[in-house]
Structure 1
Amino acid sequence: MNKPPRSQRKHTPKAKNQGLYTRAIKQSFIKLNPKIAIKNPVIFLVWIGTIITLLVTINPSLFGNFNDSNERLFNGLITLILFSTVLFANFAEAVAEGRGKAQADALRATKSDTIARLILPNGLIKEVNSTSLKRDDQIKVIAGDIIPADGEVIGGMASVDESAITGESAPVLKQPGTDIASSVTGGTRIISDELVIRVTADPGKGFIDRMISLVEGAQRSKTPNEIALTVLLAVLTQVFLIVIATMPPIANYVDNPVSIAVLISLLVALIPTTIGGLLSAIGIAGMDRVSQFNVIATSGRAVEACGDINTLVLDKTGTITLGNRLAEEFIPVNGHTLAEVANIALISSLFDETPEGRSIVDLAQQLGSQADFDINTATGIEFSARTRMSGTDLDTGIEIRKGAVDAIKGFVRSRGGNVSNDLDRTYEKVSRLGGTPLAVCQGDDIYGVIYLKDIIKPGIRERFDQMRRMGIRTIMLTGDNQITASVIAQEAGVDDFIAEATPEDKIEVIRREQAEGKLVAMTGDGTNDAPALAQANVGVAMNSGTQAAKEAANMVDLDSDPTKLIDIVTIGKQLLITRGALTTFSIANDVAKYFAIIPAIFASTGIGALNIMDLSSTQSAILSALIYNALIIPALIPIALKGVKFRALTADQLLQRNILIYGLGGVIAPFIAIKVIDMMVSAAGLA
């Protein structure tokens, strides 16, 4: 039977894991290099202890008169166990790094040097290597080409396959002039037509380059929380080191001298080796979980900040509602007919390329309306966040507008027209239905209201309830009027909302929350979102958004799903919960190890009465405690990589739960395990 070509063979998860673990084992030995090992002070101290116990294994009398064959075997066993502890800690970090490197290799496979069609200032096209492209260069790509660099579409319209980046097989339409469809990523493939692209990234600084560096860990720096915990562990280690250093004089005074190997064993058993060995793995795995979720974070600091978020600021459209509001109905006012409203609505939307604008044109055409003039002679008026209107100016001087009801009222009054109560009644009717009312007018006469229908995303209320249980406040921002916003906010279950919001309002609400000492997260995709994304503690830009939004944010969602911000917060909290739980467990372990080793060392002085575990001998107690200390690191690697299961609880509830499970469990588990290991060590005759 012929085997398929290597490129077509599928690798099973088991085979991939075997390769990952093989590389991790190799890295475990490479990390023994002192220049690398010193980055983890707790494990580095264990490594130094290993070297010292190796020396006293070779020469037991090196630090005292303990020269006998039994002592040599005991020292050798301690050396082996300590060496295993260091390797297990290195292995935990190497596995976490290996997962990131595997993802980086997959990304690197999508990145290749290609020939780019550079458009010269004189309009001619020159073929150059993609690595020579610089920011602001203009290039042309045609069907079948791999887009050679990140950029903004400035000409043409084409379908682009972004599956290499997002994993989504459906092609995406790209065209200039829109926030959601003008940004392209190097490494993606154009599958139809052609585009003209302005390059937005210098060589080596493109999106895929940043992704590779981040998931591979080349640019990983410790987060503030991780640094603080590392300092705490280093201080605890120093305290125990001072305590152990004072023990030899006391032991000699009571005529019970203690060997250097036993002192090192006691030190290693008491210092927080478990969390010391897993701390880096937890941080790397947190970044990896975010990247597996198709989100690229610029730093571990951003991921960690998600876990401390107090406030979520969310746009309504696309986040709380399904997005793309569609025209549902035309409602005449001021005595106009439905046909007249449909005709004016059609003309006002001829130059509106948004989904809402297209839906208005479609609905008007379904009602029989059509433009009875040459469109080329008309001028399109683009929507502005300040005017909150758009429309069409005819060559006859007639001005046709559609937009927010208040904005249209102001426009009509500025032209000398009057506003009837009929408009206000229609406005309230649509708003109370949860829809968005747009008024349409011709000059000084209001013709009617367009009912744009919003649909709340299924399950979004439950998501906000979950946030609330975690103590996170949700604020909805929308350009809708007060009534519509309140209806949507109540239906979605957000804590607060701001209606008729401008870009300045977004920044203001973020600054107000931050002034109260809160951490704020928000999503955005447009250029006008960039200032708010930069101001937020966690800013998540959509991959379909503008380059300005991506550069301002500290996370990019490759799937362009605004609701993913809620999931990112969950991942951040899980990272902090995992770190806290394993730290609690590690420190709680010291109680059992204390009761195992201290009574055994001073058994002849009467302190041995504290041997509540009834361990077989001094040597067996020490070996059992060290073996447990070593084995618990690989045992906890799956939890460090996968994370402690997240539950939507408040900080106080989580603390109580962690103390109960990982604190109390961390005290009880080692008592049982050390006793079992002691029985096995004694049965094997090792002590």
Structure 2
Amino acid sequence: MKNEKRPPTDHHVHHSIHENHGHHVHEDQEKRTHKIHAHHGHSHEEHHKIMMKDFKKRFIVSLILTVPILFLAPLIQSFFNFSISFPGDRYVLFVLSSFVYFYGGWPFLKGLVDELKKKLPGMMTLIALAITVAFSYSVAVTFGLTGKTFYWELATLIDIMLLGHYIEMRSVLGASRALEELVKLMPTEAHLVTSEGVRDISVSELKKEDVVLVKPGEKIPSDGVVIEGETSVNEAMLTGESKPVHKKVGDEVIGGSINLEGAIKVKIERTGKDTYLMQVVELVKQAQETRSRTQDLANKAAFWLTLIAIGAGSTTLITWLTLGKPFVFALERMVTVMVITCPHALGLAVPLVVAVSTALSAKKGILIRNREAFERAKDIQVVVFDKTGTLTEGRFEVSNVVPLMDLDEEKILSYAASLESQSSHPIAQGIVEKAREINAKILEVKESKVFPGKGVQGFLEGKEVMVVSPGFLRENGIWVEDERINAILEQGKTVVFLVVDKKVVGAIALADKIRPESQEAVRRLHEMGIKTYMLTGDNAKVAKWVAEELKLDGFFAEVLPHQKSEKIQELQREGYIVAMVGDGINDAPALIQANVGIAIGAGTDVAIESADIVLVRSDPRDVTSAIHLAKVTYRKMVQNLAWATGYNAFAIPLAAGVLYSYGILLSPAIGALLMSLSTVIVAINARLLKA
């Protein structure tokens, strides 16, 4: 992080790969996946799925039974001016309503017991109280007590509560599939080198000290050390390092990374759970299990409404009995208060806004995977961006061509692109793309030869031409001092040199291309008063260059995956509400550690599975859209909750009978209609949400 703008804590940059030596586990990929899910997935994801299915089933059954209850309800019949009656109809109504109460209302009755055990009465307690009072009073009326039944109010309240909780469950179903996606990155087969030759075995059979052959284009099967050959390895998906990493004898390689060039032999050092990738899996699992949950706004409101409902209902009953009114009159007042307080509107206030907000955001290419985190997005103070693939495009483009002798820029690119035209190396592709862009001629190359990690050689137009690394020049004593090249190297750019007949004739600088949209995204965030930081596995020079180009508030460089989540924690300890934006496997622990994890949709499956919000387009400007949507969604939730709870301040005193002396008295039926009107207002207000 840049010193002048960083918060007071001193952030250190670590360089070494985290190692955790332990017991080696040799099991195949499917077993590993199953084991992870058995340990973690069932307790979280499966639990949510089971609950979601349960709410859905109870809702459908209760809704079907509610239809005949509505047709048999006296109030509905008089309101719509029709009549259905037959001997014993009230007992049919009782039986149907009893089933809805016990079957449909079971999650709330069970929830009441759980909340009371924890001494934290909330939404479940309030719903259970409302349906129990309505049911008990209605049963008493059915079997002789004077008054009106509340069966249809009871059934519709249970239906709406079940629907609200089902919507809620769908919105919080989480990110534990990330673990499965991580495990999928490991190859399933390895080429084991034995005294009899090379044979293919399952990766699960690999043991420490085994030697494997890794061919160009293949994934390295497990963590180890190169014992033969040279190559370049793509570790971008694991470490965030955008540049291919040169590997020679003695260098460590990470399981899951891709061998780009030469065939190498690797001695296996770590297998199973001890590998770097599986340690990242463990980090993701730990972060998911320890993620803090903010208490739902509706639950807070429900807690107070529960106290109000119990207090107002009890006070109403006692007051009217004290004033000498009959018990049936006092009981009817109490039931009316309880029914009017019961939270049809409160139960839908948040889920309805979430449903509208989710649909609206989907049209904008913003997918909400975690509702609680989305609500937190309104408070974001710092947005931390991954570099490769998020702020940048994750591909090399030519930024400078420096002639050192007579050749012009076009000729330098023509020679270099001709040599590199057959290579799949990212640097080679960047050079060829630039040559085609300026219509430089691609010449025929003879006797092409690759030096892994150092460059390529060939003959064209009768000359020996090479495109090589700075290290090759130094090794062969032909390094050229040039202020322009030194300045480019200071920016952390990758520089390759064109050598013609043993003379260095030009240099080509390449850099990971900054997305055109990144500048605007940073500017918009600054306008919203939000700080911007960058977190990358790339070297400090590259990070500094990108940060300065984009006018970021600071950056962390050379950070490995387990350190990324630590950097997020540091910012959180300093009091910041932090959002992390990333697209790679290396971002998964940080995405989960952040208060809000945002994945760029073109990224890896594991990044998407670890995120709370997914941006379908690879456009960092959508981060600002997501935060803005979170703010307006929160405002709409507060409006709905204010109405859902606020109307009680008006309705409860009327239901209790404070204006009885003026001849104004709400019947339970009118109380139920008022409650329904509140629900309609909440639903309309949710539909008015605009982003």
TM-score scaled to structure 2, two decimals? 0.55
Map 1:60-459 to 2 at 5 A: 61=145, 67=146, 72=147, 75-76=148-149, 78-93=150-165, 224-227=293-296, 229-230=298-299, 232-257=301-326, 258-270=329-341, 272-281=343-352, 299-316=370-387, 318-320=389-391, 324=395, 326-327=397-398, 330-333=401-404, 338=409, 341-342=412-413, 345-346=416-417, 353=424, 357-364=428-435, 366-368=439-441, 370=443, 372=445, 374-376=447-449, 378-381=450-453, 391-392=454-455, 401-402=468-469, 412=474, 417=479, 419-424=481-486, 438-441=494-497, 447-450=506-509, 454=513, 456-457=515-516
Cα gap change, 1:603 to 1:135, in 2 (>3 Å): farther
**1:54 Cα shift?**
0.9
CA contact (8 A) 1:92 1:277 kept: yes
**1:499 Cα shift?**
8.2
Matching residue's letter, 2:455? T
Q: CA RMSD in A?
A: 5.7
**Partner of residue 258, structure 2:** none
CA contact (8 A) 2:404 2:504 kept: no
Residue 671 (structure 2) pairs with residue 629 (structure 1):
no
**1:597 Cα shift?**
2.8
**Partner of residue 496, structure 1:** 553
**1:588 Cα shift?**
1.6
Cα gap change, 1:466 to 1:644, in 2 (>3 Å): farther
**Partner of residue 53, structure 1:** 137
CA distance in 2, matches of 1:437, 1:595: 73
CA distance in 2, matches of 1:444, 1:401: 12
Matching residue's letter, 2:676? A
**1:575 Cα shift?**
4.8
**1:453 Cα shift?**
9.0
**Partner of residue 617, structure 1:** 664
- Residue 690 of structure 2 aligns to a residue whose secondary structure is coil
| Larger deviation, residues 330-339 vs 625-634 | 330-339
**Partner of residue 662, structure 1:** none
**1:593 Cα shift?**
1.0
Cα gap change, 1:554 to 1:237, in 2 (>3 Å): closer
Cα gap change, 1:278 to 1:534, in 2 (>3 Å): closer
Residue by residue, what CA displacement relative to the aligned partner does 1:57-79 show, whole Å, maximum 9, x if unpaired? 22564xxxxx4xxxx3xx23x55
**1:486 Cα shift?**
5.5
**1:518 Cα shift?**
2.0
**1:266 Cα shift?**
1.2
- Residue 324 of structure 2 aligns to a residue whose secondary structure is coil
Matching residue's letter, 1:539? G
CA distance in 1, matches of 2:679, 2:62: 15
Cα gap change, 1:526 to 1:498, in 2 (>3 Å): same
- Residue 360 of structure 1 aligns to a residue whose secondary structure is helix
CA contact (8 A) 1:409 1:419 kept: no
CA distance in 2, matches of 1:31, 1:235: 26
CA contact (8 A) 1:347 1:371 kept: yes
TM-score scaled to structure 1, two decimals? 0.55
Residue 660 (structure 2) pairs with residue 603 (structure 1):
yes
CA distance in 2, matches of 1:307, 1:136: 45
Structure 2 unmatched runs, 5+: 1-58, 67-99, 112-123, 174-187, 193-197, 206-214, 219-232, 239-287
CA distance in 1, matches of 2:426, 2:471: 24
CA distance in 1, matches of 2:606, 2:547: 31
CA contact (8 A) 1:577 1:644 kept: no
CA contact (8 A) 2:340 2:674 kept: no
* Alignment size in residue pairs: 489
**1:632 Cα shift?**
2.1
CA contact (8 A) 2:655 2:665 kept: yes
Residue by residue, what CA displacement relative to the aligned partner does 1:589-642 show, whole Å, maximum 9, x if unpaired? 1222145334x35634xxx5xxxxxxx63145x5434312123224423555x5
Cα gap change, 1:542 to 1:352, in 2 (>3 Å): farther
**Partner of residue 128, structure 2:** 44
Residue by residue, what CA displacement relative to the aligned partner does 1:435-489 show, whole Å, maximum 9, x if unpaired? x95432369968334366956535x666545544554322245756578535631
Cα gap change, 1:570 to 1:539, in 2 (>3 Å): same
**1:295 Cα shift?**
6.7
Cα gap change, 1:44 to 1:574, in 2 (>3 Å): farther
**Partner of residue 187, structure 1:** none
- Residue 618 of structure 1 aligns to a residue whose secondary structure is coil
- Residue 225 of structure 1 aligns to a residue whose secondary structure is coil
The structure whose RCO (Cα within 8 Å, separation 6+) is larger is: 2
Residue by residue, what CA displacement relative to the aligned partner does 1:357-415 show, whole Å, maximum 9, x if unpaired? 41312444753465755335x2332xxxxxxxxx416699999545xxxxx59985996
CA distance in 2, matches of 1:245, 1:329: 80
**Partner of residue 14, structure 2:** none
Map 1:507-656 to 2 at 5 A: 509-541=567-599, 545-546=603-604, 549=607, 553=611, 564-598=622-656, 600-601=657-658, 603-604=660-661, 608=662, 617-619=664-666, 623-637=669-683, 639-640=685-686, 644-646=689-691
Residue by residue, what CA displacement relative to the aligned partner does 1:305-360 show, whole Å, maximum 9, x if unpaired? 44443221224565446664533652324776547743774488568636664131
CA contact (8 A) 1:540 1:556 kept: yes
Matching residue's letter, 2:424? E
**Partner of residue 50, structure 2:** none
- Residue 383 of structure 2 aligns to a residue whose secondary structure is strand
Residue by residue, what CA displacement relative to the aligned partner does 1:224-267 show, whole Å, maximum 9, x if unpaired? 33556425513431343034223433333333454212102113
CA distance in 1, matches of 2:169, 2:554: 42
**1:120 Cα shift?**
12
Matching residue's letter, 1:524? G
- Residue 645 of structure 1 aligns to a residue whose secondary structure is coil
Cα gap change, 1:395 to 1:30, in 2 (>3 Å): farther
**1:36 Cα shift?**
2.5
